């Protein structure tokens, strides 16, 4: 009898496994069948429609599933990847199915000027095809107008306004708050201009930081005015006059800001969204079902364009492009940061791939951990040791640790507005003995060595620890100078004279020899191909990205379809999700982001013995 039941249970367990497998096959068949039924279709006589959402970034941050669910719930995205925009325009330029390009700026947030410049360059390149580029918005801000100015036709809603507010750099300073709390931030640094730690030590901007900050915001403004005036065919003085007299001009126009922008020739005409649709219908086919023009979104178009590109891509010779965006952190990390482990692994992967003939690093980083920067630096050096070229393309920021990992490149390209340099090192460690005193808590005890108890939160940093940390910082600075002097073929003193933590705009960095050329990512890729002696038409650009798990690949394939299906029929009313409340919460939270970011950076940096090459130098 026991054998009977034992055999029965084994049989039932086997049947359970078979049914489980069949169920999984049915589920995956359903998913992939749905994907196939709604697969990408090639557009015909259509307009490519770009609707950037949120910030324009080099790399998307966050978890893919969360982003898909947010999109399915109609909350929109916080970011749009620059490469998706430029790839779509590059493919559509020579695609006979695409008749025009329409860019709607109403959901776009902002970006650094070099990122905006890459976006604008792609528009200018698209226009060489003879196809029209139409820009539209209810209102334009500084960043959206920079890009829109490069279109053939710039339309503004009759109720809109063009506000170009210029550049500024204001920071919060926490010294008085920390004094009230009884917290001391012990800082060890090298560099007269290394101002990253000033918010914790001062209540205002230091003269050195004011000098450097004023210099680079002036540089950004000059390049902005030059780019916009050239794109619109205006004199720079005309743009400056519009900006400087906007308030009285709008007042004189009885609040009609759109009329002022039109009179200043910043826009082509004032049109409602419906009127813009009618204009595009003159360029592309009409969608009778929707009574508008036939359009295709970036995401849908890229499914087709990239699939076609993969089919025709030569595999033998490639220029590998590795994008590093965000703060440089130790270990691993999600999107939006440069992981020391992941990025060095990708550089190693490129080194071991014989089809990769050159490496381009696209660096957009304020820096971070010195240890992680050194980890990446060593892998870049190992790639160079194979005799293949390394070229760096700098994005919005390539400062401190961002410059550290760029230094060994054979050639460095930057935008005139790239913020770079900030060659310096710091470390910090907060202590709060005064807080303990206020609470009536005393600290006393014994130790065995000069360092015993010198790095406690409840005691001041002792002289032995302070000497050790400062010596370590100074050594790290000398190592940094050595990395730069070797890569730039300069003496230690030549580098030190332009280092000291000072920030430089790209055009000044070129004059000082910190970068070799001013241009785009395309310029850097072409320079790498030239150094590798690759012939036109016989090589391809290949973006390196971390390998995805099976679940991530499945999610990428299913994309938003899966999220929409899962959420279909879910009530968002009573007891559900209040979308307006969520949107308001996100908007309110954004107001606290600068303070939150500084606190998180301090917490991450407050590790005894850990060194940082970081530049808190983003202008807004």
The DSSP bridge partners found for residue 133 are 101
Look at strands 390-399 and 356-365 and give their pairing. parallel
Active-site residue (options: 219, 373, 400, 520): 400
Residues in the chain: 620
Which residues lie below 8 Å from residue 605, measured CB to CB, with a gap of 6+?
A: 427, 428, 612, 614
Spell out where 352-507 has E strands.
356-365, 367-369, 390-399, 411-414, 419-421, 425-431, 503-505
Angle at 379 between CA 507 and CA 601, to 5 degrees: 65
CA 523 to chain centre: 19
Report the candidate in 60, 80, 59 with the shortest Cα–Cα distance to residue 362: 59
Active site residue 194: yes
Q: How far apart are CA 438 and CA 418, in angstroms?
A: 46
Active-site residue (options: 93, 99, 132, 194): 194
Q: Which helix (H) or strand (E) holds 153?
A: strand 153-156
Q: How far apart are CA 372 and CA 349, in angstroms?
A: 17
Report the candidate in 431, 439, 435 with the shortest Cα–Cα distance to residue 457: 431
Extract the tokens encoding 66.
């969360």
The torsion angles phi and psi of 536, rounded to 5 degrees, stand at: -55, 135
Q: How far apart are CA 542 and CA 343, in angstroms?
A: 16
Torsion angle, alpha carbons of 52, 56, 61, 64, to 10 = 20
Q: Which helix (H) or strand (E) holds 273?
A: helix 273-280
The torsion angles phi and psi of 453, rounded to 5 degrees, stand at: 75, 10
Report the candidate in 375, 387, 382 with the shortest Cα–Cα distance to residue 344: 375
Residues classed as catalytic: 194, 400
């Amino acid at each position: 009898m026991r054998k009977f039941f034992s055999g029965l249970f084994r049989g039932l367990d086997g049947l359970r496994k078979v049914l489980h497998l069949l169920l999984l096959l049915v589920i995956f068949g359903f998913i992939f069948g749905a994907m196939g039924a709604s697969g990408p279709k090639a557009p015909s006589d259509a307009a490519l429609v770009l609707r950037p959402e949120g910030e324009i970034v080099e790399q998307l941050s966050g978890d893919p599933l969360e982003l898909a669910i947010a999109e399915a719930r109609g909350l929109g995205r916080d970011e749009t990847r620059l490469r998706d925009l430029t790839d779509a325009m590059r493919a559509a330029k020579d695609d006979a199915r695409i008749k025009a390009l329409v860019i709607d700026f109403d959901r776009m947030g902002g970006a650094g000027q070099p990122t905006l410049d890459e976006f604008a360059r792609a528009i200018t390149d698209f226009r060489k095809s003879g196809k029209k580029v139409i820009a539209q918005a209810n209102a334009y801000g500084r960043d959206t107008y920079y890009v829109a100015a490069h279109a053939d036709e710039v339309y503004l809603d009759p109720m809109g306004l063009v506000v170009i507010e210029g550049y500024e750099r204001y920071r919060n300073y926490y010294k008085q708050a920390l004094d009230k709390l009884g917290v001391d931030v012990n800082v060890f640094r090298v560099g007269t201009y290394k101002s990253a730690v000033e918010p914790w030590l001062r209540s205002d901007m230091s003269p050195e930081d004011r000098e450097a900050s004023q210099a680079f915001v002036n540089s950004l403004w000059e390049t902005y005015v030059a780019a916009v005036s050239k794109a619109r065919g205006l004199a720079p003085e005309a743009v400056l006059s519009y900006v400087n007299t906007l308030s009285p001009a709008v007042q004189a126009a009885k609040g009609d800001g759109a009329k002022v922008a039109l009179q200043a020739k910043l826009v082509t005409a004032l049109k409602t969204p419906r009127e813009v649709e009618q204009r595009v219908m003159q360029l592309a086919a009409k969608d009778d079902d929707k009574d508008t023009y036939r359009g295709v979104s970036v995401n849908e178009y890229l499914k087709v364009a990239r699939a076609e590109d993969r089919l025709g891509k030569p595999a033998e010779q490639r220029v590998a492009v590795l994008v590093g965006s965000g703060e440089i952190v130790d270990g691993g990390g999600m999107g939006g940061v440069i992981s020391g482990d992941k990025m060095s692994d990708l550089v190693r992967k490129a080194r071991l791939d014989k089809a990769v003939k050159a490496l381009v690093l696209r660096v957009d980083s304020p820096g971070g951990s010195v240890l992680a920067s050194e980890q990446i630096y060593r892998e870049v050096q190992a790639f160079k040791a194979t005799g293949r070229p390394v070229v760096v393309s700098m994005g919005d920021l390539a400062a401190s640790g961002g410059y550290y990992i760029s230094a060994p490149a054979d050639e460095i390209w930057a935008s005139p507005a790239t913020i770079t340099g900030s060659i310096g090192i710091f470390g910090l460690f907060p202590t709060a003995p005064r807080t303990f005193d206020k609470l009536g808590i005393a600290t006393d005890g014994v130790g065995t060595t000069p360092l015993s108890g010198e790095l406690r939160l409840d005691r001041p940093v002792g002289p032995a620890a302070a000497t050790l940390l400062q010596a370590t910082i100074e050594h790290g600075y000398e190592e940094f100078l050595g990395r730069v002097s070797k890569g730039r073929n300069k003496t230690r003193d030549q580098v030190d004279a332009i280092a000291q933590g000072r920030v430089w705009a790209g055009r000044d960095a070129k004059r000082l020899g910190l970068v070799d050329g001013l241009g785009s990512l395309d310029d850097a890729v072409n320079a790498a191909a030239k150094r590798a002696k690759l012939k036109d038409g016989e090589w391809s650009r290949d973006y390196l990205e971390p390998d995805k798990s099976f679940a991530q690949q499945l999610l990428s394939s299913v994309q938003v379809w899966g999220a929409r299906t899962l959420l279909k029929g879910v009530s968002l009313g009573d007891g559900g999700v209040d979308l307006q409340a969520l949107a308001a919460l996100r908007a309110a939270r954004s107001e606290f982001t600068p303070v939150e970011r500084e606190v998180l950076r301090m917490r991450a940096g407050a590790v005894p013995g850990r060194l940082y090459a970081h530049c808190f130098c983003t202008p807004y």
